[in-house]
Structure 1
Amino acid sequence: MDLLSFMVLFACILVSSLKISVANDSIKVSQSMHDGKTLVSKGGKFELGFFSPGSSQKRYLGIWYKNIRIQTVVWVANRENPINDSSGILTVNSTGNLVLTQNESLVWYTNSHKQAQNPVVELLDSGNLVIRNEGDTDTEGYLWQSFDYPSDTLLPEMKLGSDLRTGLERKYIAWKSPDDPSPGDIFRVLKLYNYPEIYMMKGTQKLFRYGPWNGLCFSGIADLRNNSIYGFNFVRNKDEVYYTFSLVSDHVITRTVTNQSGSISRYVWAVGEDQDWKVYRSYPKEFCDTYSLCGPYGYCVSTQSQSCQCLKGFSPKSPERWNSSDWSQGCVRNKPLRCKDKLTEGFVKFKGLKVPDTTSTWLDESIGLEECRVKCLNNCSCMAFTNSDIRGGGSGCAMWFGELVDMKMYVIGGQDLYIRMDASELEPVHRHKKKMGTIVAATVAAICGVLILLSTYFVCGIRRNNAGNSLSEVYNEKHMDDLDIQLFDLLTIATATNDFSTKNKIGEGGFGPVYKGILTNGQEIAVKTLSRSSWQGVTEFINEVKLIAKLQHRSLVKLLGCCIQEQEKMLIYEYMANGSLDSFIFDDRKSKLLQWPERFHIICGIARGLMYLHQDSRLRIIHRDLKASNILLDENLCPKISDFGIARTFGGDQFEGSTSRVVGTSGYMAPEYAVDGLFSVKSDVFSFGILVLEIVCGKRNKGLYHTDMNHNLVGHAWTLWKSGKMLDLIDLNMKESLCVVQEVLRCLHVSLLCVQQYPEDRPTMMSVILMLESNMELVDPKEHGFISRNTLGEIDLRSNRKDTCSSTDVTMTLLEAR
């Protein structure tokens, strides 16, 4: 293959000549960088090029300090896909993306969807590799930047945390070894709990916890404060949550590294005769920093011969194991809580603590300590509270729910924590005050008991209601961790939907009806109710809540909150003014509103949302029910993927799974899934291919399109493809004047690549986007693997399912354990 064909194949990269010299700190569209060449930032601080780590012979594209004699790599592009020789080439294409190739093979590729105009790649003196439009110096206008996709090293001005607008999560993953920069299983991440905090993790296991930010420092590392070397900041607002540090002096060189050993080390470059990296600080720094070492209601104190102690009012749950230094079971109360009325309980103040793990917390920065105490006292599930900001006498309110774990006692420093205790454990003066204020306290408690619905419900985790079982009995409460959404009470939702009036009903699926509502603040919402007769139970409901609460992307529907009260279970979404995609493309009148520009925009938007699920979200997510009715359209006809009730999540290195019970929708399921229960990202790709065909053609896949009454839309498209008549598929409701024929044919071509029989033949969603948005050459598709209704009948799936179909969709509803 000649060079020009190769460049067309991988992204429309226009290379006028390989002899053009590379600019010192930048690359333009007409330039490329080979192995052996480098970019150097203008101030000479950082260098970008190809390197081999340690004793390895493999080649990687990375960034390192330019003038430090020990090569110290701070960022690696192709961590998971090394180059075997010196044939690597880095180029920037006209869409504003970097492409790394080796011998005509794609190695690594950036994924910017911003508008590119004369894009330039530049290495900055901060160590940030950026793609920007030529002449644009605004940092907010970067098309892409390496600081958003860190490796193991945190540099000054880099962020550890999440962009809530895009769902981008910046976490720092250790190298597997000094010879292997591929991602290890140790990483540093900021968890977006109500009261966020940073953890060192090993897979799903928590190793070390910073403690939440208290306005001055992190509660668990009180010695990490502004100093003569660097200052740091913690930002939490509606757009972003992150930690960052900045240098006091430009002459200091410092970085923090996440190590595969499970430690975080801050290094400072020693000038003068030493000329080496010195460890300035390292965490965890002592035995007591081990996560949850002392179990529930235990705390660790490094100055004691017995490191773990029980809080006052608590005793070891297993004295025998405790005395043998096995503290994992922690401590239990001497006097169990009764919560019969507010006079039987109160709070004991504990000083100098690293406050507990914040997984199950509630935060309100607008109220003070006394109002915080009242709220906690009136909620039997609230176990502790304190100020969220300790500056200037304290402000804000943080409340803990469930067991208190991972506490540490400081000799100097720490925070106050108020822990719920039985009245008999309170100091006499407290009990006297309570007795003197019986009438007032009882009155206040009664009023608060009516007004504060959190006393029964909190963050979708019901402890008990009078009408049925609690969620904790149906679904283990530990699976409710990490939820960060608003809880709506039933009265609010009933008022918003005009008491679930039929006039407000905007749709219905197997789960139950969907209603439009308007909150008292004027916000429009969509209320997805789970009918009591629905196949979708608490498991599916919680699954959807847990998934969507963590996902933030412009092509995914936004979950505003949930309601679980009495026998009702509801999800509260942002309202999509134009409803579902199927209501447009399969309706002769409304489909005329979707001309080709709108349809192509919808196809690309769905593709980006699906790629986010498969590749860029915190967990790899397989949707398993991608179809036209699960694509919602906002007022601008922008698509948003919805309905994650049967989705499955995987860790970073897992791509597929299997099940003995198939769930999904007839007409969209991949053959390996429908027949053998095997699902992967490629089964979602198959469903996407079906969806693209339906969008272009305006017809359902499950219809009959051939005289032998045996072809569905996929089979019909395949027949026309072989006969060279693909244009016959185009929806007649689209005006020819608005059609870009080459774009339409490319979409149809890509759709057939997506529905090939074998998963390994189907492209990834990243490749799909590249094919849709470029003029790269496409390979011919192999025969499709669609499973017809007749075949589904033969494998006897119908006999095992409950039908939950509308007039147009049949959803397989066999439940499976997750």
Structure 2
Amino acid sequence: MKTSMEGYTILFFCSLLLSIFLTSTATDTITMSQPIRDGETIVSAGGSFELGIFSPDSMKRYLGIWYKKISIPTVVWVANRESTPLVDSSGVLKVTKEGILQLLNRNGSIIWSSNSSRWAQNPVAKLLDTGNLVVIDEKDDNPENFLWQSFDYPCDTLLPGMKLGRNMTTGLEWHLSSWKSTDNPSPGDFTYRLDPQGFPQFVVRDGSVEQFRSGPWNGLHFSGFPDQIPYTTYNPHFVFNQKETYYTDELCNDSVVTRLVLNRNGIIQRFSWNDQTQDWDLSQSVPKDNCDNYAICGAYGSCNIGNSQDYCGCLKGFVPKSQQDWDISDYSNGCVRRMPLNCGSGDGFTKHSGIKFPDTRYSWYNESMTLKECESLCLKNCSCMAYTSLDVRNGGSGCLLWFGDLIDIRAFPEDKKEIYIRMASSEIGMSLSLKLDQVGSKKKKRVWIIVSLALLVGMVFLGLGLTLFVRKKKKLSREGKKGHTVERGYTTEELELPLFDLATVANATNNFSINNKLGQGGFGLVYKGVLEDGQEIAVKRLSKNSRQGLNEFKNEVIHIAKLQHRNLVKLLGCCLQVDETILIYEFMPNKSLDFFIFDHTRSILLDWTKRFQIIIGIAQGLLYLHRDSRLRIIHRDLKAGNILLDNKMNPKISDFGLARSFDENETEGNTKKVVGTYGYMSPEYAIDGLYSVKSDVFSFGVLLLEIAWRLYIEGKPLELIDASIGDSSNTSEVLRAIHVGLLCVQRCPEDRPNMSTVVLMLGSESELPQPKQPGFFNERNLVGTDSSSHKHEPCSTNEVTITLLEAR
């Protein structure tokens, strides 16, 4: 996997190379009489790290530390990221007689300075081979006596030996904060820091909003990082005592180069240097999917990315708090117990494994108790909702208790650590044994169990019989009604969607008033509606004369009804009544993407930050369709008009009328009837009817670019940038987006990246391969001399149905 650290541009690379050839102090130390100037550097004794002044853009300069032996410039620490950057090459770094580091500008003003807790006779600054810049007394290099060290002030990178946590005595906190952008090392929006409430855990926040939680440490790893083991290059340590609480890495081999980074998108990534490929290997990345998003399923809800229907489900013994909300995929209210607790009459516990342990913000722990003592203590406290062993090593030890609702749970089938959740005794079949224990008669216990089992079996059979009777009666009733949908080729049972009454839909749209019209397609009209409870909806009404629309309707229901993702439009239900066929969606107030980007006036409303957010959202939605959904789905009509925007300008992929799904073993399909939109179709699909996930990748690339190939090969890629976003754009980010777009629209499907690679490339600063010539629909031969792909034989009888795009 090709990847490298955030924050590097070509200019930055040149700046670091230049520092090698300029005058160097050829030492690892700065003294009071020997400061270093811009262009000079110091190098750690073993040659692993280098310190100097660098520039991530053409204007600003920063004091930083980077790897010396790594061929890809990779900065691990920046001194003046929270203060004013230098604006020219006159910067000087010196150490004062008080043992304070100072970075001065041309005028001698202090741009940045360290601090010192005590006086030293002869202070010097030294760059250690761990990457730690320390200020020490020249004759005392004991770590306990450091006057100051850069390891106490991490930036976005955690190196082996650095601490992530908190010193309870001094109040010093070690945390990571992302870069603001690729060329701006100032603190960004994301932080990764210790939450000391209850049993400690680490949390990624976007500002003050929780995004991801590590889960509690169990002696081997954090509950939210089940793939953190086995360890081959480093050993993780979690220190937890009255003085300090922190996490740190210890290298197994000094020759290994590894680092943990919080990137500018709030993703925690573990990199290791690969000498053979001369690049960084990405070995770990979280959040890795939707289920890593904090508390996405609410209280007592569990998120399972592999679920065949929805991500969210309730833990065993719990039901949705609001079934109506869950039916429209709103899981925020979570779940509630099916049977209420009755602490006075005795509750019990059910064992769960293969899950990420809940938020420990409201928890209590004891390091010496046994698991049995832990259970007894929890049972005596009516507010205690769950317990587990604090440390799972050597058979388990200690006690961890949870109080209040259990939130932020997800499925980790590979992690077999056990947690015990409090349940009503009647829910887990314990009430009978508890009552008989009080009587003290083993004989009565056996009798009661036999009688109870007999009654239970009888009730089950009776319930099944009644259920079958009611279902059959309802089916016969439906089949006797006018407008039964069998004549349209499907029944309401097959759709598995909430049904809306026609009168309700008509009332919501003012009887399908022309004033409520949002748009029109080959299927019919789309109207805006408002339900009685105030919810805004979009109503797609199938034209009675549209046979193609009917096929699209059925296809849309099949492919999107059970799919849930933040970047897919939500299908709320349908109306099948009399001769009406209607789909009801969530309403998107900002219309579609083409409403903005193809209009000179409205396009200025989309600055680069919003556009890049939209690009990332579309990519993540496609990745879900291609890899993480219950079906492998090819959209086949991805275009700007099918990207809807919500009130926060978040993109939602819509219109699945042309979508196709694959089984796990299928990779591509073939059709004699090519449908879609000219300009977004991949060559192999438009010409030969071959479609695959790479067809969608091509369409995504067109969305990313609206491309002009010759500008790129002539070295003029910046001419592709929309003039309306020029002032707001991040040049390196725009160039990367263009480059990724070019990779997506390469002629041969085999050359195009898949969507997981696209998401990774957009979210990192990895070195990208050179794109080959893109595909054009007037090219008959899809295989160029520079491609290794196999030639597909054309299908001469293909029937092409395309939608022409309006002039822009």
Q: Provide the TM-score with structure 2 as the length reference.
A: 0.50
Selected match of 1:86 from 56, 64, 89: 89
Q: In 2 relative to 1, CA 434–162 (structure 1 residues): closer, same or farther, beyond 3 Å?
A: farther
For residue 324 of structure 1, report the CA deviation from its aligned partner: 2.2
Q: Which amino acid aligns with 2:404?
A: G
What SS does the aligned partner of 1:374 have? helix
What SS does the aligned partner of 2:422 have? strand
1:238-317 matches, within 5 Å, as 238-272=242-276, 274-305=277-308, 306-317=310-321
For residue 62 of structure 1, report the CA deviation from its aligned partner: 0.2
Selected match of 2:367 from 365, 368, 372: 365
Quick check: 2:346–2:434 contact (8 Å CA) kept in 1? no
Aligned to 1:40: 43
Q: Which amino acid aligns with 2:45?
A: K
Aligned to 1:197: 201
Aligned to 1:435: 436
- Note if 1:419 corresponds to 2:421: yes
Q: Which amino acid aligns with 1:319?
A: Q
Aligned to 1:60: 62
Q: Which amino acid aligns with 2:413?
A: V
Is 285-294 or 22-31 further displaced after alignment? 22-31
Q: Which amino acid aligns with 2:265?
A: S
Q: Which amino acid aligns with 2:69?
A: N
Distance 2:281 2:387 in 1: 40
Q: Which amino acid aligns with 1:79?
A: R
Distance 2:131 2:296 in 1: 38
Quick check: 1:362–1:398 contact (8 Å CA) kept in 2? yes
Selected match of 2:169 from 150, 165, 170: 165
1:578-597 matches, within 5 Å, as none
Quick check: 1:222–1:414 contact (8 Å CA) kept in 2? no
What SS does the aligned partner of 2:426 have? helix
Structure 1, residues 304-348: CA drift from partner, whole Å, max 9, x if none?
122211011111111122122221111011122243x1x332222
For residue 410 of structure 1, report the CA deviation from its aligned partner: 2.3
What SS does the aligned partner of 2:229 have? coil
Aligned to 2:189: 185
For residue 67 of structure 1, report the CA deviation from its aligned partner: 2.0
Quick check: 1:51–1:60 contact (8 Å CA) kept in 2? yes
Selected match of 2:223 from 219, 228, 247: 219
For residue 95 of structure 1, report the CA deviation from its aligned partner: 1.2
Quick check: 1:22–1:32 contact (8 Å CA) kept in 2? no
Selected match of 1:25 from 17, 25, 28: 28
For residue 438 of structure 1, report the CA deviation from its aligned partner: 6.9
1:334-349 matches, within 5 Å, as 334-339=338-343, 341=344, 343-349=345-351
What SS does the aligned partner of 2:218 have? coil
Distance 1:431 1:76 in 2: 65
Structure 1, residues 136-161: CA drift from partner, whole Å, max 9, x if none?
12111111100010110011111111
Q: Any unmatched runs of 5+ in structure 1?
A: 1-19, 441-818
Quick check: 1:34–1:88 contact (8 Å CA) kept in 2? yes
For residue 286 of structure 1, report the CA deviation from its aligned partner: 2.3
Distance 2:52 2:271 in 1: 23
For residue 185 of structure 1, report the CA deviation from its aligned partner: 1.2
Quick check: 1:364–1:397 contact (8 Å CA) kept in 2? yes
For residue 349 of structure 1, report the CA deviation from its aligned partner: 1.8
For residue 226 of structure 1, report the CA deviation from its aligned partner: 4.2
What SS does the aligned partner of 2:216 have? coil
Distance 2:337 2:133 in 1: 54
For residue 104 of structure 1, report the CA deviation from its aligned partner: 2.2
Aligned to 2:453: none
What SS does the aligned partner of 1:104 have? coil
Q: Which amino acid aligns with 1:331?
A: C
Distance 1:86 1:224 in 2: 43
Distance 1:426 1:21 in 2: 72
Q: Which amino acid aligns with 1:400?
A: W
Quick check: 1:225–1:231 contact (8 Å CA) kept in 2? no
Aligned to 1:136: 140
What SS does the aligned partner of 1:424 have? coil
Aligned to 1:379: 381
What SS does the aligned partner of 2:161 have? coil
Aligned to 1:50: 53
Aligned to 1:648: none
Aligned to 1:71: 73
Distance 2:404 2:200 in 1: 17
Q: Which amino acid aligns with 1:72?
A: T
Distance 2:44 2:265 in 1: 32
Quick check: 2:155–2:178 contact (8 Å CA) kept in 1? yes
Structure 1, residues 365-401: CA drift from partner, whole Å, max 9, x if none?
1211122122212222111111111122211111111
Quick check: 1:355–1:415 contact (8 Å CA) kept in 2? no
Distance 2:182 2:210 in 1: 24
Q: In 2 relative to 1, CA 438–136 (structure 1 residues): closer, same or farther, beyond 3 Å?
A: farther
Identity across matched positions, percent? 51
Aligned to 2:517: none
For residue 203 of structure 1, report the CA deviation from its aligned partner: 1.3
Distance 2:316 2:69 in 1: 56
1:653-732 matches, within 5 Å, as none
Quick check: 1:230–1:248 contact (8 Å CA) kept in 2? yes
Aligned to 2:119: 115
Q: Which amino acid aligns with 2:32?
A: V
For residue 264 of structure 1, report the CA deviation from its aligned partner: 0.7
Aligned to 1:232: 236
Structure 1, residues 427-466: CA drift from partner, whole Å, max 9, x if none?
34x64045304799xxxxxxxxxxxxxxxxxxxxxxxxxx
Q: In 2 relative to 1, CA 431–209 (structure 1 residues): closer, same or farther, beyond 3 Å?
A: farther
Distance 1:434 1:50 in 2: 76
Distance 2:55 2:339 in 1: 62
For residue 75 of structure 1, report the CA deviation from its aligned partner: 0.1
Q: Which amino acid aligns with 1:365?
A: E
Distance 1:41 1:406 in 2: 43
Quick check: 2:226–2:414 contact (8 Å CA) kept in 1? no
Q: Which amino acid aligns with 2:116?
A: S
Distance 2:439 2:118 in 1: 63
For residue 22 of structure 1, report the CA deviation from its aligned partner: 4.4
Q: In 2 relative to 1, CA 323–214 (structure 1 residues): closer, same or farther, beyond 3 Å?
A: same
Distance 1:412 1:278 in 2: 23
Quick check: 1:301–1:308 contact (8 Å CA) kept in 2? yes
Quick check: 1:219–1:414 contact (8 Å CA) kept in 2? no
1:493-532 matches, within 5 Å, as none
Distance 1:239 1:434 in 2: 48
Distance 1:21 1:403 in 2: 59
RMSD: 1.9
Q: Which amino acid aligns with 2:142?
A: D
Quick check: 1:56–1:179 contact (8 Å CA) kept in 2? no
Distance 1:215 1:380 in 2: 28
Q: Provide the TM-score with structure 1 as the length reference.
A: 0.49
What SS does the aligned partner of 2:354 have? strand
Q: In 2 relative to 1, CA 439–99 (structure 1 residues): closer, same or farther, beyond 3 Å?
A: farther
What SS does the aligned partner of 1:140 have? helix
1:368-767 matches, within 5 Å, as 368-428=370-430, 431-433=432-434, 435-437=436-438
Quick check: 2:44–2:128 contact (8 Å CA) kept in 1? yes
Bigger Rg, which one: 2
What SS does the aligned partner of 1:321 have? helix
Distance 2:439 2:86 in 1: 75
Quick check: 2:226–2:412 contact (8 Å CA) kept in 1? no
Distance 2:58 2:421 in 1: 54
For residue 278 of structure 1, report the CA deviation from its aligned partner: 2.1
Quick check: 2:54–2:62 contact (8 Å CA) kept in 1? yes
